Chains A and B, each alone.
Chain A
Amino acid sequence: MRVNKSILQGLFSTYLGIFILLMSVFLFRNSWVDKDVYLIFLMLYGILPLIFILLRGKRAIFLTVNLFILGIIYTSIFLFFRKIRELFPAPDILDTKIVGFTQYYGYPFYFDTALFFTIIIITFSMPLIINFLKPKRRN
């Protein structure tokens, strides 16, 4: 896909201006938008058009797909957080008789660590997986 560079630059400048304006608006009137929605917006949608425009072509499409899949995974994790938590074992009160937050409220001790590394590994490996799966060019 060939794109005129000056149009690209114009688009980019316009986009950046709109992006900054929107973020500034949200800053001063963030009661208009639920905080979580705002954060997801910042993470995904604010960056997506930027990457799409700058990278152009099929590579950009695969990256965009990558970010959308990640967005679905992150949203699912946050929506089903409690159900996922129930899959993890509750902590034991050991010989040290320690009763902290996790023991008192029955919060699985290793749940956060497992979820954290799941998010990190999925985020890092998603581009590698998509690259592996994308159709190769015939010589």
Chain B
Amino acid sequence: MLKKMSEIATGYTGYLIVFIATFVFLLPKINEFCTVYSTIDFDSQALLAWDYAAYKGIMPHKDIFYPYGILFYLRDQNIFFHLIYFLSIPMLFTLLFAVLKKMWKNTYLLVISFALFIFFILQFTGIDTFNRYGHIVAFASYLAYIAYALKRQSSRIPFFIGITSGVLFSLITDQGIYFIAMFSLYVIITPILRENIKVIFGKTYYARAIYDFFLYIAGFVIGFLPYLFYLLSNNSFVAFLHSIAQFSDIALYAKTPFIPSLRSPGNAFIFTILLLTLIVVANKIINKKKNNFTFYLQLFLALGLILLLQKSIVRSIDRQLTFIAVLLLFTLCKDFDVMLKALKVEAYNRITYICLLLVTILLINPFRINKITSNKRSALRGTACINSSVDHLTKKYPGYKMLSNLIRKDRKNSNNGIFSFPGDPIFYILFNQRSPYYLSVYEASPLYAQKNRIDYIENQNILYVIYNQKSTSIQDGVPDIIRGSYEFQFILKEFALIGRLNDFLILKRDKSQDILHNKLLDDVPKFKKTILDVDLEFVPQLEGRHKQKILDESSTLLSSRSIEEVNNFLKSATVTSDKIILILRATDSSKSKEKVSVTLITQDNINTRVQFQGCGGRGCIIRLSSLPAFFTNRIIKEIHMNTAYKGMMEIRENPKEDILW
């Protein structure tokens, strides 16, 4: 019986059984078209807003910013994409089963490792994450196989790989880009692995590489054609190209420190396994033990993981990549098995040792990788789906619905729209209103995106702005008024404060009012402090470091080490905030690491404080019109500094070229 099962598992029937078994196991999910969100945090609101947009037939890239690919956008709205999404999961499991089968010669280890792998995916990674990053892993494994098994590569292979890449690029754009990178690495290193490093000095190497790339690109174009027709038919092609061009800007505003995140359980696990794998691969190269599938699998999986870690370096996705480390762990266990076999350890003992090791690392989980907590899925569709999330969230957080009712009462029968700052997209759903292209100030960090949101306010005839006081920093500790300062400036100039409900402020279109002379401002001390007490951290220092050359173009009104001399000048002259910049150059370098605090007093008795990190070396540049208190032009009458600062202060004209923050 066991022998029969072993034959089935190791034959082609095994692949069919695995596909059917995983398909049947996941079958209850085929009817799940709806995610019910249980928390009102920024991420959940954004996902809900995208679900709502997809339900309303809003085009991604053209009408709404969506960086994750059409497959995820339409999987709950379109039966075709839903089936592709669903069927790709058992397909990925089957491909990875085939990889493990190729690696293990022992059926017990094959079955146990595959079972542990599925367990790990279900407990720690999640099906959605696996369906997103599993494609590049399967692709890396396939490349490992053809690098190992095929001494002479057929021309059809790069062509068909190109078609697959084009299709995946259409469905999950960022993963498609990784496919291109992975194939490039394959073309570069495979001839070197098959022969030796000297092959790179021959012309054949480069001719072959160019030929393979040519076939790959031809296949890629064919694979991309259906999606290209879809984009062209919806006038979205240019918007799609624009969204790809924005990837570099996403990296700029999304980047958070990576090295400190190495302490997380996921990253600790990934790096332990990755570095061990690199040592093992290097040793195999030294000892010329690279003529086995395990070596190629380790190398290509490690390269795939290193590629994906570039995304993690921008913004840590440690937990999502741990399953790749699990596959690498299996390859290390395979090497361990070979070592034990060389020591004449019996098969039964070898299996026991490896199973003990895998169970300890994956089940007892010494790295303490957290189990996934995902939102519930249900069979609801369309309006019922959206309403189930909205009803659940508004019951849990009643302020949202109360505020919506209050605004409806104020606007009476008009259809004037609302705008949410920094970004509570649930309001657009509550008001049955099309959302802005960028849902929040976070995605709208670039200036062009902030202008896009301002255009939305103008074009949609927005009458109200809902300001969430509780959210001072939507992500990463960067204040929203700094991140979206251009947008915030527009709001303060065009809208007036009219009321408050809990953490929400209501502003109504009225450009005649100066926000700082609004009587209601004293009733909202938190908002008042946000406007009048600003922490710029390193922004002035970075401006000083990188923008010195433009200062040559602006003339100096005053340069002095004495604050009294500066104040005398301000009292005698009419210095307006829109025309000047402040430059501070600290002379006492030992103090330059302390925060500098500058208090500015205006002619109309507005008292505002700005703090920032010290200004040694090239100094700090502050453009006053960037500060909320000076969004409206004011006359500066006095400046005070804290004792942390000793040095030169310059008041210069605002340069003509608008490159200062």
Residues of A within 8 A of B (CB): 5, 8-9, 13, 16, 20, 23-24, 26-27, 30, 35-36, 39, 42-43, 47, 54-55, 63, 66-67, 70, 81, 90-107, 109, 111-113, 115-116, 119-120, 123-128, 131
Give the complex CA separation of A113 and B286 in angstroms: 27
CB contacts (< 8 Å) of B286 on chain A: these are 127-128, 131
Question: Judging by beta carbons under 8 Å apart, are B254 and A100 in contact?
Answer: yes
Chain A residues whose CB sits within 8 angstroms of the CB of B538 once the complex forms: 90, 103-106
Assess whether A100 is in contact with B476, with CB atoms less than 8 Å apart.
yes
Chain B residues with CB under 8 Å of A23's CB are 360, 364, 366
Complex alpha-carbon distance, A93 and B368, angstroms: 38
Mind listing 19 A-B residue pairs with CB under 8 Å? A9-B345, A9-B349, A20-B356, A20-B357, A23-B366, A27-B366, A54-B343, A92-B542, A93-B546, A96-B252, A96-B448, A100-B253, A100-B483, A104-B537, A104-B539, A109-B252, A113-B313, A115-B259, A126-B282
Question: B279 near A100 (CB under 8 angstroms)?
Answer: no
With A100-B252, A106-B613 already in contact, 14 other A-B pairs whose C-beta atoms are closer than 8 Å: A20-B356, A27-B366, A43-B276, A54-B340, A70-B279, A92-B545, A93-B661, A95-B659, A99-B445, A102-B256, A103-B252, A123-B278, A127-B282, A127-B283
CA distance A47 to B253 in the complex (A): 40
- One of A13, A93, A119 near B543 (C-beta < 8 A): A93
Which single member of A47, A96, A126 contacts B249 (CB below 8 Å)? A96
Alpha-carbon gap, A55 to B343, bound state (A): 10
B339 CB contacts on chain A under 8 angstroms = 54-55
Q: Which residues of B contact A66 (CB under 8 A)?
A: 279
Contacts A9-B345, A23-B360 hold; do A103 and B542 have CB atoms under 8 A apart?
yes
Judge whether B131 is part of the interface by a CB distance below 8 angstroms: no
Minimum CB–CB distance for A110 against chain B, Å: 10
Q: Is B399's beta carbon under 8 Å from chain A? A: no
> Complex formed: what's the CA distance from A26 to B365 in Å?
11
**Interchain CA distance A55-B272 in the complex, whole Å:** 20
A101 touches which of B256, B345, B486 (Cβ 8 Å): B256
CB of B310 within 8 A of chain A?
Answer: yes
Q: Which residues of B contact A (CB under 8 A)?
A: 249, 252-259, 263, 268, 272, 275-276, 278-279, 281-283, 285-286, 306, 309-310, 313, 339-340, 343-345, 349, 353, 356-357, 360, 364-366, 368, 445-448, 450, 476-479, 482-483, 485-486, 537-539, 541-543, 545-546, 613, 659, 661
Expressed in whole angstroms, the Cα–Cα distance for A20 and B360 within the complex equals 7
Q: Which residues of B contact A16 (CB under 8 A)?
A: 353, 356-357
Do the beta carbons of A124 and B281 come within 8 Å of each other? Answer: yes
Most B CB contacts (10 A, CB to CB) among A112, A125, A126 go to A112
Whole-angstrom distance between the Cβ of B196 and the nearest chain A Cβ: 14
**Nearest CB on A from B17, distance (A):** 33
A9 contact set on B, CB distance < 8 A = 343, 345, 349
- CB contacts (< 8 Å) of A39 on chain B: these are 263, 268, 272
Contacts of B356 in A (CB 8 A): 16, 20
Complex Cα gap A32–B415 (Å): 63
In the complex, the answer to whether B343 meets A96 with C-beta atoms within 8 Å is no
Say yes or no: A47 contacts B360, CB within 8 Å. Answer: no
B360, A24: Cβ atoms under 8 Å? yes
Query: When chains A and B are docked, how far (Å) is the Cα of A121 from the Cα of B143?
Result: 22
Q: Please report the C-alpha to C-alpha distance between residue A20 and residue B356 in the assembled complex, in whole angstroms.
A: 8
Complex contact A98–B545 (CB within 8 A): no
In the complex, how many angstroms separate the beta carbon of A125 from the nearest chain B beta carbon? 7
Closest B residue to A104 by beta carbon equals B478
Picked from B258, B343, B661, the residue with its CB within 8 Å of the CB of A8 is B343
Contact A95 B447 (CB under 8 A): yes
Q: Closest CB-CB distance, B30 to chain A, in whole Å?
A: 38
Once A54-B343, A100-B483, A113-B310 are accepted as A-B contacts, the answer to whether A105 and B542 lie under 8 Å apart by CB is: no
Query: Which residues on the A side are within 8 Å of B446 (C-beta)?
Result: 96-98
Is A97 in contact with B476, judged by CB distance below 8 angstroms? no
Q: Bound state CA distance, A100 and B537, in angstroms?
A: 12
Contact residues in B for A101 (Cβ distance below 8 Å): 255-257, 476-478
A-chain residues with CB within 8 Å of residue B537 when the two chains form the complex: 104-106
Measured in the bound complex, the distance between the Cα atoms of B252 and A30 in whole Å is 37
Chain A residues whose CB sits within 8 angstroms of the CB of B285 once the complex forms? 128
Quick check: B360 and A120 within 8 Å, CB to CB?
no
Report A46 CB to chain B, min CB distance, Å.
Answer: 9
Our pick among B254, B257, B450, B541 for the contact of A90 (Cβ within 8 Å) is B541
Which of chain B's residues has its CB closest to A92's CB? B546
Q: How distant is B501 from chain A, measured CB to nearest CB, in Å?
A: 30
Which 3 residue pairs are nearest across A and B when measured between Cβ atoms? A106-B538, A100-B253, A112-B258
Instruction: Determine the residue in chain A with the shortest Cβ distance to B484.
Output: A99
Within 8 Å CB of A104, what residues of B?
Answer: 477-479, 482-483, 537-539
Closest to B246 in A: A96
CB-CB under 8 A for A124 and B278, given A99-B483, A116-B309: yes
Chain A min CB distance to B262 (Å) = 8
Which residues of B are found within 8 Å of A63, using beta-carbon distances? 283
In the assembled complex, the Cα of A94 lies from the Cα of B539 at a distance in Å of 12
Question: What B residues does A27 contact at CB under 8 A?
Answer: 364-366, 368
> Please, how many angstroms separate the alpha-carbon atoms of A42 and B281 in the complex?
20
Q: In the assembled complex, which residues on chain B have CB atoms less than 8 Å from the CB atom of A94?
A: 252
Q: How many angstroms from the CA of A8 to the CA of B447 in the assembled complex?
A: 66
CB of B275 within 8 A of CB of A123, answer yes
Q: How far is the CA of A126 from the CA of B344 in the complex (A)?
A: 30
Chain A residue contacts of B345, Cβ below 8 A: 9
Looking across the interface, which residue of chain B has its beta carbon closest to that of A130? B286
- Chain A, residue nearest B478 (CB): A104
B366 and A99 within 8 A (CB): no
Contact yes or no, B306 A120, CB < 8 A: yes
Q: Which of B278, B368, B478 contacts A100 (CB 8 A)?
A: B478
CB distance from A63 to the nearest CB of B (A): 7
B366 touches A26 (CB 8 A): yes
Please, which residues of chain B bring their CB within 8 A of the CB of A81?
259
User: B366, A42: Cβ atoms under 8 Å?
Assistant: yes
Query: How far apart are the CA atoms of A35 and B368 in the complex, in Å?
Result: 11
CA distance A24 to B357 in the complex (A): 12
Contact B539 A103 (CB under 8 A): yes
Pairwise interchain contact B542-A93, C-beta atoms closer than 8 A: yes
Within 8 Å CB of A102, what residues of B? 252, 255-256
CA distance A33 to B259 in the complex (A): 21
Q: Please, how many angstroms separate the alpha-carbon atoms of A112 and B256 in the complex?
A: 10
Contacts of B349 in A (CB 8 A): 9
Which residue from chain B places its CB closest to the CB of A109 in the assembled complex?
B255
Which residue of the partner chain, among A26, A109, A127, contacts B279 with CB atoms under 8 Å? Answer: A127
Contact B541 A106 (CB under 8 A): yes
Query: Interface centre among A98, A107, A116, by most B CB within 10 Å?
Result: A98
